[in-house]
Chains A and B, each alone.
Chain A
Amino acid sequence: MDIAVETKALRRVYRSRNQEVVALDGIDLQVHRGERFGVLGPNGAGKTTLIKILVTLLLPSSGEAFVDGLDVVRQFRELRHRIAMVSGGENVGFGMLKVKEQLWMFSQFYGMPSAPSKRRIDELLERLGLSEAADRRVSALSSGMRQKMNLIRGLITNPRILFLDEPTVALDVGAARDVRDEVRRWMAEDPSRTVILTTHYMMEADELCDRVAIVNRGRIVAEGTPAELKQRVQQNSIVDLQLSPGGRLLDTLRRVDGVTAASVLEQDGTDRFSLQLSNDAALGGVMRAVEGSGRQIQGVQKREPTLEDAFVKLVGRGMAEEEQA
């Protein structure tokens, strides 16, 4: 199968006056042409650094990376014709330009003839429901509309490989769904197109990606289709416990016999524990630990594994906890 993106022992170290941060620690990756490939991990995992290297904004400290068969270090000029990147929360461009003008401007940096560029812009504005905002100033757009505009910017030049760096961050549910729908539609138009998507939303990776690499602390901890990754925790029972707030209980639960992984998320005044149990009998030990903590049980349910559970099993803790570490 044709390889669209390949990295070999890719490493990137940031050095400042007193500090050295290893953002990528030997990434080996292959993305096939026509794939929607997700890079999933908590904030600070190295996802954005990886993308920045692949789109030629950053040089690796060591290792190699090839995009569309071209070396990102030596052949970056040729490569830039073939790729585009859209980041989430972008506030780029110039506020006083109208949407159409801004999009046209960026298309010119790729040498697109103006007439086809404008036609393509109109078409994409229509598809993303922004036709009525075409003559509105960029500064007057809502964040959802702005991100759709940013996505259009990435699509106008018909890149062979599209890089999306947290494209739905800070968007409401409707706007995020529109962005994902457009990505799917764009991919369906031409099977040779490839999308690399970074996200820390498990649901997004699960829904949108053909294959996912889970990244943590600069390393790939697992790679596969969402189903394959969830399969890793399939043999476990996944139990969600909603408890009243209280003292530290997570470490206690992790030590219970039969609990293979545990994470917690505080939400709406409730602590939601997700536990992976090697067997259902372990639930007894869990309940005794909960009883001993004095907390009230507000809900218990068994459910199917998600990518979040795969992450917890691989890393040992939840994404939110990993970000705080």
Chain B
Amino acid sequence: MSHPSAMRIFLKTIVARAYPRFVAAYRNRAWLITETLLPLVGTIAMIYVYRALHAPARFLGFVVLGGVLLAFWQNVIWAMATQFFWDRGAGNLELFAMAPTSLAAILLGMALGGAYVSLTRAATILLVASVLFGVSYSLSGLFPALGVFVLTISALYCLGMLLASLFLFYQREAWQLADAMQEPIYFLSGFYFPVRSLGAVVGGVGSLIPLTLGLDAIRQLILPGTPQFIPLSVEVLAVVAQIIAYAALSQISLRHLERRARQDARLILRST
């Protein structure tokens, strides 16, 4: 019996799953307030911490760039990794799971759909905070930094798929754990300070998160004077390796955990 190819279904699913997010962003513009002001306020608070310490101007840039990548981390955690928890409660997960598509495509669609909001959030932080606090950047490193940014976000979304497969298995704990992970991740990734400050061991552990190395590389490129954690070329290679590793792990994990979820009835139980 003939049916559409797996690749065709994969691509169509990504577009279709992204669609509700695009629609929501257009039809309910209240997100413009919370999704831009909230991270901006958080970034400003940290900038004032450095201001109070009379820190050099580039430290304000550390915070701004950290805030920009933080926007994508939030998208990965809340719009991707924990999304199956909400979908299960709404009954959508059953329909996604019994369709001849892959959960990876559903996740990528969610991520694509949320990217619009994340980009807006990131751009707001970058522009508003930089102008308000007079942060300047080295333009010579701009294009390489954009390249590193794309690689970092790709690795991050692959990690997001891996996390989503883990969260598929847990119920309300998943949401709470994701919430509990926020500040530890901000710490380990060096969102607000040079990664080098964490030292080799803690920084090494933090480097498992793509944001850590990506953020450090971007800072090295456009914020002169950034203390180097590891050489730029090594960081870039490591991020590329993370893309491959997390993409592969997420596929294995999604398949394995989907089977476990079918076994333990975790696809169908309504969450509390």
Contact = CB atoms under 8 A, between A and B. Distances in A.
Q: Do A and B have CB atoms closer than 8 angstroms in the complex?
A: yes
Contacts of B5: 111
B4 interface: yes
B265 A109 contact: no
B92 interface: yes
A55 B98 CA distance: 7
Interface in A53-110: 55-59, 77-78, 80-83, 85, 87, 90-94, 96-97, 101, 104-106, 108-110
B15 A108 contact: yes
B16 to A, nearest CB: 3
Contacts of A108: 12-13, 15-16
A96 B27 contact: yes
Contact of B4 (A77, A78, A83, A112): A112
Nearest to B96: A109
B205 interface: no
Nearest to A61: B263
B16 A57 contact: no
Contacts of A106: 16, 95, 99
Contact of A57 (B3, B20, B97): B97
B149 interface: no
B91 A111 contact: no
Interface string B125-140: 0000000000000000
Contact of A109 (B1, B13, B27): B13
B268 A57 contact: yes
A238 to B, nearest CB: 38
A5 B24 CA distance: 40
A52 interface: yes
B9 interface: yes
Given A57-B267, A97-B23, A111 B100 contact: yes
Nearest to B101: A109
B262 interface: yes
Which residue of A14, A83, A111, A112 has the most chain B CB atoms within 10 A of its CB atom? A111
A155 to B, nearest CB: 14
A57 B13 contact: no
Q: Is the interface of A mostly helix, strand, loop or mixed?
A: loop
Name the interface size band of chain B. Answer: 20 to 34
A104 B15 CA distance: 11
A80 B91 contact: no
A224 to B, nearest CB: 30
B111 to A, nearest CB: 16
Interface in B238-272: 259, 262-263, 265, 267-268
Given A81-B3, A92-B91, A96-B27, A110 B19 contact: no
Contacts of B96: 109
A108 B8 CA distance: 10
B90 interface: yes
A256 B265 CA distance: 45
Given A56-B262, A80-B99, A96 B24 contact: yes
B19 A101 contact: yes
B219 interface: no
B17 interface: yes
B90 A83 contact: no
Contact of A56 (B23, B90, B92, B98): B98
Interface of A: 14, 52, 55-59, 77-78, 80-83, 85, 87, 90-94, 96-97, 101, 104-106, 108-112
17 contacts: A57-B94, A57-B267, A59-B259, A77-B100, A80-B100, A90-B91, A92-B92, A94-B24, A96-B28, A105-B17, A106-B16, A108-B13, A109-B12, A109-B16, A109-B96, A109-B100, A111-B3
Those 3 A-B pairs whose CB atoms lie nearest each other, nearest first: A111-B4, A108-B16, A111-B9
Interface of B: 1, 3-5, 8-9, 12-13, 15-17, 19-20, 23-24, 27-28, 90-92, 94-101, 259, 262-263, 265, 267-268
